[in-house]
Structure 1
Amino acid sequence: MNKLYDSLKDLLPFGAKPWSSPSLERMDYGPTGNNAAMIQFFTWNSCADGSSWWKHFEEHIPRLSAMGFTRVWLPPPNKDGHPQGRGYGAYDLWDLGEFDQRGATRTRWGTRDEFVQACIVAKNHGVEVIIDAVLGHKVGADRAEKCMAVEVHPDNRMKKIGPRKEIEAYTSFEFPGRGDKYSSLKWNHNHFSGVDYDRSTRKRGIYYIEGPRRKFWSDHVDKENGNYDYLLGADIDHRQPDVRDDMLSWGVWILQTTGASGFRFDAIKHYDRRFLKEFLRKTRKETGNDKLLAIAEAWTTDYSRLSPYIRDFEGQMAFFDVPLHYNLHEASKPNSDPDLRKILRNSILEKRPGDAVTFVDNHDTQIGQTLESWVHKSFKVQSYALILLHGHGFPCVFYGDLFPNEECYDAETAAQLEQLLGFRKLYAYGDTTEYFNYRNCIGFVRSGTNDRTGCAVVIRSSAAKSVVIYLLSVSVLKIKSLRQKSQAKSTTYYGEEIKMRVGSQANYRDLLGDPREVAVSPDGWGVFPCRVGRVSVWVATSEGEPSDYFGILPS
Structure 2
Amino acid sequence: MMKFFKTHINRWLVVGCMGLSFIGCSDDEMEENPTPAQPEATDFTATLAKYTANDGVMMQAFYWDVTPQGDWYDIISAHIEDWKTTGVNRIWLPPPSKGQSGFSSMGYDPSDYFDLGEFDQHGTVETRFGSKAELKSLIDVAHQNDIEVIADIVLGHNSGGGLQANPFRDGAEVYSLFNEANGNASGKFNRTNEHFHPNDIHQNDEQALFFAETDLCHDQPYVQDWLWKRDDSFAEYLKSFGFDGWRFDYVKSFSPEVIKEWNEKVGGFSVGENFDGNSEVLENWVEASGSTAFDFACFYKLDEALDRHQDLTYLDQGMLRKTYPDQAVTFTANHDTEKDENPDNRISLANKLKAYAYILTHDGYPCIFYSDYENIALQAQLKGLIAIYNSLATGAVEVLKISEEEYIMKREGNADNPGLILYINIDDQSHSFDASTNWNNKELVDYAGNVKTTITVDANGAATLTVPANSFTIWSVME
TM-score by length of 2: 0.82
Q: Which secondary structure does the structure 2 equivalent of 1:144 belong to?
A: strand
* Deviation of 1:241 (Å): 1.5
After TM superposition, the structure 1 = structure 2 runs for residues 80-159 of structure 1, keeping only pairs within 5 Å, are 80-83=99-102, 84-141=104-161, 143-150=162-169
SS at match of 2:303: helix
* 2:85 aligned residue (48, 66, 75): 66
Letter in 2 for 1:47: T
Q: How big is the shift at 1:91?
A: 0.8
Aligned pair 1:322/2:296, yes or no? yes
Residue 214 of structure 2 is matched in structure 1 by 234
Cα 1:371/1:113, change in 2 over 3 Å: farther
List per-residue Cα deviations over 1:338-362 (Å, max 9, x = no partner). Answer: 1x23315111012222221100110
Q: Distance in 2 between matches of 1:401 and 1:232?
A: 34
Match of 1:217? Answer: 204
More helix by share: 2
Letter in 2 for 1:81: Q
Q: Does 1:443 align with 2:462?
A: no
Deviation at 1:87, TM superposition (A): 0.3
**Alignment partner for residue 470 of structure 2, among 533, 536, 544?**
533
Specify the code of the residue in structure 2 equivalent to 1:247. Answer: L
Q: Secondary structure at the match of 2:360?
A: helix
Trace 1:189-268 onto structure 2 (pairs within 5 A).
189-193=193-197, 209=198, 211-212=199-200, 214-218=201-205, 221=206, 227-231=207-211, 234-248=214-228, 249-258=233-242, 260-268=243-251
Alpha carbons 1:89, 1:138 under 8 Å: kept? yes
Offset of residue 129 of structure 1: 0.4
Conserved 8 A contact 1:231-1:270: no
Pair 1:522-2:472 in alignment:
no
Q: Which residue of 1 aligns with 2:433?
A: 497
Shift of 1:171: 0.8
Distance 1:453 1:136, change over 3 A: same
Aligned residue runs from structure 1 range 10-49, under 5 A: 34-48=54-68
For CA contacts below 8 A with separation 6 or more, give which structure has more relative contact order. Answer: 2
Contact 1:426 1:453 in 2 (8 A): no
C-alpha RMSD over aligned residues:
2.4
What is the distance in 1 between the residues matched to 2:145 and 2:105? Answer: 29
**Aligned counterpart, 2:420:** 455
Superposition map of 1:262-411 within 5 A: 262-284=245-267, 292-313=268-289, 316-333=290-307, 336-338=309-311, 340-368=312-340, 373-390=345-362, 392-403=363-374, 409=375, 411=376
Q: Which amino acid aligns with 2:441?
A: Q
Q: How many residue pairs get matched? A: 422
Cα pair distance change 1:508/1:276, threshold 3 Å: closer
The question of whether the paired residues in 1 share the 8 Å contact of 2:435 and 2:464 is answered with yes
Q: Given that residues 177 and 192 in structure 2 are in contact (C-alpha distance below 8 angstroms), is that contact kept between their aligned partners in structure 1?
A: yes
Structure 2: 5+ residue stretches without partners: 1-51
Seen in structure 2, the aligned counterparts of structure 1 residues 345 and 175 have a Cα distance that, compared at 3 Å, is farther
Cα distance, 1:93 vs structure 2: 1.1
Q: Percent identity?
A: 26
CA distance in 2, matches of 1:515, 1:58: 36
**What is the one-letter code of the residue matched to 1:175?**
E
What TM-score comes out, normalization by structure 1 length? 0.71
Whichever residue aligns with residue 321 of structure 1, its letter is: D
Q: What is the rounded CA distance, in whole Å, between the counterparts of 1:245 and 1:62 in structure 2?
A: 38
The structure-2 alpha-carbon separation of the partners of 1:421 and 1:366, relative to structure 1 and needing over 3 Å to count, comes to same
8 A contact 1:388–1:424 mirrored in 2: yes
Q: Give structure 1 stretches of 5+ with no counterpart.
A: 1-31, 151-164, 194-208, 222-226, 285-291, 404-408, 469-494, 544-555
Query: What secondary structure is seen at the aligned counterpart in 2 of 1:389?
Result: coil
Q: Write the letter of the residue equivalent to 2:252.
A: K
Which structure has the larger Rg?
A: 1
In structure 2, the CA distance between the partners of 1:113 and 1:515, relative to structure 1 (3 Å rule), is closer
* 1:257/1:233 CA distance change after superposition, 3 Å: farther
**Do 1:341 and 1:436's aligned partners in 2 also have CA atoms closer than 8 Å?**
no
